[in-house]
Chains A and B, each alone.
Chain A
Amino acid sequence: MKILLYLAVKVASSFAMLVIGAAVVFLLLHAIPGDAAIAALGEQASPSAIAAFRAEHHLNDPLFVQFWAWASAALTGDLGQSISLAGGFSTASLIAGSLPNTLFIGVYALALAVAISLLAGSVAAARHGRIEDVLATSGAIVTISMPDFWLGYVLVLIFSLGLGWFPAYGFIRPGDSLGGAFHSGFLPALAIAVPMAGIFSRMLRATLLETFRRAYVVSAHAMGFGRFFIFWHYVFRNALIPYVTTIGLQARYLLGGVVVVERVFGVPGIGSLMVDAAFARDYGVVQGCAVVFLLIVIAVNFMVDAVCGLLDPRRAG
């Protein structure tokens, strides 16, 4: 029961954060100098046309009234119209078309990063001070130092232009062919995953080493339990909590990386959409994308809290 209450409180606070965040984005983008009516109608528009446009789009209302109108429409899935991209698509349909691609790449990258880091971090901790540890630790700090979009090009140079194993550009939507999406999405996902894995494995190694020294682990050794039994039942589960928390904390960097890496590989995701909209000064679309990104990070952090609550029931109590 306690965990349900804990989750309910988390849901409520996450929602409040989303609303306030949306308001901040709204205000920020409305503070941009320039008149939306002139931007939409052009410099030559007659004053009466501008007045009509302003009235039609409620641009004369106070900002908080405008935000209320936008937010209540957003809750029903209506994020307004794109003023530039391919003429008059709704923002919601643009986002709906690109979000699955971004989520696919993001989850793909996260899965790769977790797989690499679980292996590297555990090996480094178990073989502490030996050659495996040195290799894994040095590898981690080198990968952390690489910009992900640059790594993307290096991967293209090696695996696409050199070996020809993966396409250099373009992405097959998971809806069209799941296998194609895994194949064409591998390099972008890997470019995001490798620096991420460096951060994760450093964290895992540090917590594992710390847990190895805990009194209950030492006493388990003294009681004669096997090494693998101790690792699995005493060390690993306890080390997982900081590890999972780190994943939540990295969500903003992971999604940040997605925005740029999508451009490198021509993935038609929400990051690409947002950058295109920014170039076109299509603020409605930028705003919609920003709020969706915020929603994803908040959702990830909610899930991390939930998982940590399950791993350590004391947190929820």
Chain B
Amino acid sequence: MAKRRSASGMWHTFRTNRVAQVGTAVILIAAAVILLVRLFSPYGPTGNDYMNILRPPSLSHPFGTDSFGRDVLTRVVYGAQVSLLISFAGLLLGGLIGTVIGMVSGFWGGVLDAVTMRFIDLLYSFPTYVLALCLMLLLGYGSRSVSLAIALIYVPNFARLARSMTEAIRAENYVTAARLMGQSPPRILLREILPNIAAPLLVQFSAGLGFGIIMEAGLSFVGLGVQPPTPSLGVMMADGKDYFQRGPWVLTLTGLSVAWIILGLNLLGDGLRDALDPQLRRRMS
């Protein structure tokens, strides 16, 4: 393994990478809209206005209004925060558990590794929503369960990645040196191995963040996730489908906002991958 690259070098690659630039722009626009709406929107996410039911997009309601007369843009902004938080919490938990399992498994190898990874394979063999649905039945619907479902879905991704990377570098000289110096395995894992495998894990995290939002939206859309009146993006899209023919803008524009945020996250993830993993970058371009 080549020596670790300096943080400023990575930052330079990331900053001059066109994909990362577009991604940053996309995310900044989303952040600006969120900020502007939170500061200046005269509407709340929950107050009903029966005089303005299902109005198409206009100047006073850029995304129109829903069946309760609520401003869709305002609700999208609040919903995006809820959905992002759910996805982030899920990814963080799944990433932590998966990384620990993968690193331990890859570092020690042997029977422990074989058994653990078969279990990870099994977890990976359940279709995403099937796993989530069983968990929802066990834990009850709601934001916390959705986060846990996302975590469970992402444990195998992180475990596999962390395991293969750890296995690849566990025989490197600096790891052997640390071992010979008498460092304890937890310390070696934390100080020597983790910093060297962090980059791909971070890329996986940013890509997963977008998919977590899709998971939340899908589960809540079916009615098995976040429950109204919590304004998550999935709940709003589920609501919009009920009057899709009369007011298609509710579902369409909410989904478009979801796609916009996820596009930004995906672009940032790609840029991050290029900056953190120069080998991959050279191979790809």
| In contact, A25 and B128 (Cβ under 8 angstroms) | no
Q: How far is the CA of A20 from the CA of B265 in the complex (A)?
A: 36
Q: How many residues on A have C-beta within 8 angstroms of the other chain's C-beta atoms?
A: 55
B284 and A206 contact, CB distance less than 8 A? yes
In the assembled complex, A298 has its CB within 8 A of some CB on chain B: yes
| Interface presence of A275 (CB below 8 A) | yes
Give the Cβ gap from B161 to chain A, nearest Cβ, in Å. 12
B126 within 8 Å of A (CB atoms): yes
What's the minimum C-beta distance from B229 to chain A, rounded to whole angstroms?
Answer: 20
B218 within 8 Å of A by Cβ? yes
Interface residues of B in 227-285 (CB under 8 A from A): 237, 241, 244-245, 248, 251-252, 255, 258-260, 262-263, 265-267, 270, 283-285
Q: Is the CB of A32 within 8 A of B137?
A: yes
Tell me which residues across on chain B come within 8 A of A301, comparing CB atoms. 125
Partner of B258, one of A17, A32, A147, A289: A147
B155 to chain A, nearest CB (A): 13
Out of A20, A28, A157, which one reaches B138, CB within 8 Å? Answer: A28
A146 at the interface (CB under 8 A from B): yes
**Contact residues, B200-225 vs A (CB, 8 A):** 210, 214, 217-218, 221-224
The interface bits of chain B over 118-153 (1 if a CB of A lies within 8 angstroms of the residue's CB, else 0) are: 100110111111100111111000000000000000
B130, A278: Cβ atoms closer than 8 Å: no
A102 to B3, CA, bound (A): 50
Q: Are A290 and B266 in contact (CB under 8 A)?
A: no
> B134 near A290 (CB under 8 angstroms)?
yes
Whether A67 sits at the interface, judged by CB under 8 Å, is no
Contact A252 B122 (CB under 8 A): no
A21 near B130: Cβ-Cβ < 8 Å: no
Q: Determine if B127 and A293 form an interchain contact, defined as CB atoms under 8 angstroms apart.
A: yes
CB-CB under 8 A for A278 and B251, given A256-B128, A293-B127 = no
Query: By the criterion CB–CB under 8 Å, are B255 and A150 in contact?
Result: yes
Q: Is the CB of B223 within 8 A of A279?
A: yes
Q: Of residues B118, B130, B248, B262, which shows the largest number of chain A Cβ atoms within 10 Å of its Cβ?
A: B130
> Pick the contact of A32 from B125, B138, B251 — CB < 8 Å?
B138
**Which listed residue, B135, B217, B251, B263, touches A145 by the CB 8 Å rule?**
B263
Q: Give every chain A residue within 8 A of B210 (Cβ-Cβ).
A: 145
Q: Does B122 contact A141, Cβ atoms closer than 8 Å?
A: no
Cβ-defined partner of A157 (8 Å) among B124, B248, B259: B248
**CB–CB B266/A141 < 8 A:** yes
Q: Contact between B263 and A142 (Cβ–Cβ < 8 Å)?
A: yes
Query: Could you say which residues of chain B place their CB within 8 Å of the CB of A286?
Result: 133-134, 137
Tell me the complex Cα distance, A33–B237, Å.
Answer: 30
Give residues 142-170 of B contacting A (CB, 8 Å). none
Nearest chain B residue, comparing its CB with the CB of A144? B266
Q: Assess whether A41 is interfacial by the CB under 8 Å rule.
A: no
Tell yes or no: A55 within 8 A of B by CB: no
With a cutoff of 8 Å between Cβ atoms, the chain A residues found around residue B129 in the complex are: 256-257, 259-260, 271
Given contacts A32-B137, A145-B210, contact A278 B224 (CB under 8 A): yes
Known: A255-B130, A256-B127, A290-B130. A147 touches B217 (CB 8 A): yes
Decide: B267 and A141 in contact? CB cutoff 8 A: yes
- B255 x A29 contact (CB < 8 A): no
- 6 more contacts with CB within 8 A, not counting A255-B130, A274-B133, A278-B136, are A141-B263, A141-B266, A148-B214, A251-B127, A253-B128, A274-B130
A-B contact list, 16 entries, CB within 8 Å: A17-B118, A21-B126, A144-B262, A145-B259, A145-B263, A149-B218, A149-B221, A161-B248, A209-B285, A252-B125, A258-B127, A260-B222, A275-B133, A278-B137, A290-B130, A298-B125
